Chain A
Amino acid sequence: MNKTQQILFDEPGPRAQRRIRIATVLGAVLLAGALVAAVYQFASHGELAAARWEPFTTWPIWRYLLNGLWATLRAAAATAVLSAALGLLLALGRLSTHRPLRWLAGAYVEIFRTVPTLLLIYVTLFALPQYGMNFPLFWKLVVPLVVSNSAAFAEIFRSGILALDRGQTEAGLAVGLRRGQVMALVVLPQALLQLAPSLVSQLVGLLKDTSLGFVVSYTELLYSGQVLSSYTHLLIQTFLVVALIYLVVNASLSKFARVLQARNGRFGGRRGRRTAELPPPLLEGNTPR
């Protein structure tokens, strides 16, 4: 039991234990009631019939949905790489000593952090083609996602760089490195490791954003579900399965982010080595223990 759970209640005594048992039973009854109501709704509209779920045990249906998932992952990967790179450049721009650069990067981030992605998608769908910029479907989804996600990445990178102890930069400058070298050799490697969990969390958000392919009619997972359900007329079954796939993929990513968080952003078993590398205290007897 962790700290949060402990602060509001003591180790339960006999009366509290009775109350906990009552609350558990009540909760279970409510949960079961909701479940029964859901099953009843499904059954009374004939959506529980085996014939309406059977297609989801066949390979062609799964192959179609997994193709959709593959397209989702491809779009997410392209968006992640491009927007992380652009976001890093923007963060460096916002922290640069060059005033116009700082201003430009700041304006970009502030603007695209508060404009909905769907509006950007409508711009690439309906505005840009008028000016001769008619991208393939894949890029019609990825470009707006990169534009809005790079602003989010920029803020993550900036906060990570700012959170690093200033002494690191000062020490770098003191040993004669140039500002760019300090950033590349000292600040970024440490900041990136610290940021790993936030970056993976952002990845979950970005993967969810690719569901906007539904609007672009790029056949990623959600739009594949739409196409499939218009053929099979198995609306609720298809979208429940699609939701389940999203849930499995994103929950694994979130779990990974939490593992990274628990390890303080370090991959592999490097924490042990790091403490071993610490120099011994200068004055053995005087260090407070």
Chain B
Amino acid sequence: MPFASWLSKAATILICKSQDHPPARSNPLAPPPARSNPPPGPHPHAAWIEDQLLAFIVSRILQAIPVVLVVGLIAYAMFAFVGDPVTIMLGTDYTEAQRVALVKQLGLDQPFFVQYAKFMWAALHGEFGISYRLARPVTDLLAERMPATLELAATASVFALLVGVPMGVYTGIHRTAASRLFMVFSLVGVSLPTFLIGILLILVFSVWLQVLPSFGRGDVVRFSHWSTGFLTVGGLKALVLPAVTLGLFQMTLIMRLVRSEMLEALRSDYVKFARARGLGPRAINFGHALRNTLVPVVTIAGLQIGGIVAFSIVTETVFQWPGMGLLFVQSVQVADVPVMAAYLVMISVLFVGINLVVDLLYYAVDPRLRVAR
């Protein structure tokens, strides 16, 4: 069950977030004791690799289906047991006949699992019902807000990776005052709650220096189904503080992870052997050591994207960013179940998708996997 076990490894790292030596040995993707793969004779043909890749993807998707089904069950159970949709939709003044008609119309008289199946079927078609709070189709509400959240999350992820990986590599290779400073900085970084980072940034850059906006998306450019803040100066300025807030925690995490993996790789025999062959420092640090840190880094980075989407709830609230996270918080406050359920199902599909991409990246990074399974 590699899917499950790498999750738990990643979770261990998240919990023990400033851990210097993640339990690399328990990494299910780390090479199985190398002897377990006897030479398969001549090198496999490309077609064979493709077949294997397809089988790999299919098995991953099959593993993901129960996850989505269970999440859907939980989402539907909220519908069924939290609040009474009939009273919510009819108000307090209704006749028995009206009630029975509505119950029949909503299918509430059918067995629970039939209703669940219908719910999932509708969800598959992107239908999640009507928001209690805003009296509009949930799908429309989510679709309106999705661009804002995705642009924010993407910017934050890119920021976390582009800053976190180089800083981790630097602190892994060099033992200078700068790298000690980075480490202290990262320790404070993991202890600062996301919303507090946002508040501090607002205080410094919006209140005191007054150089960056503190709420909203600024000017957006609209296409048919998408509104983007990437194309205007105002939109880009509005993106800076939320993206930094959202990415900072993940950045420090990635930096610490890359550093400890680099340290481990630089101690390894194959790096010593590469040195003994007279390879240059660049080939050793980046070609040999960094490449070997990619598998664990990809795992965590994948999980971090999930974390970024979840923490966008907090960031969007701090910056009043009109995305799905803000919508979700507002829905939780008034128990707007259809929106909560839809958000949950969507997030689970998103996470499953991320996990699949992460698995495929392993496949690209680590040749051992291509034969191991």
A and B held together in a complex: no
Residues of B in contact with A (beta carbons under 8 Å apart):
none
Residues of A within 8 A of B (CB): none
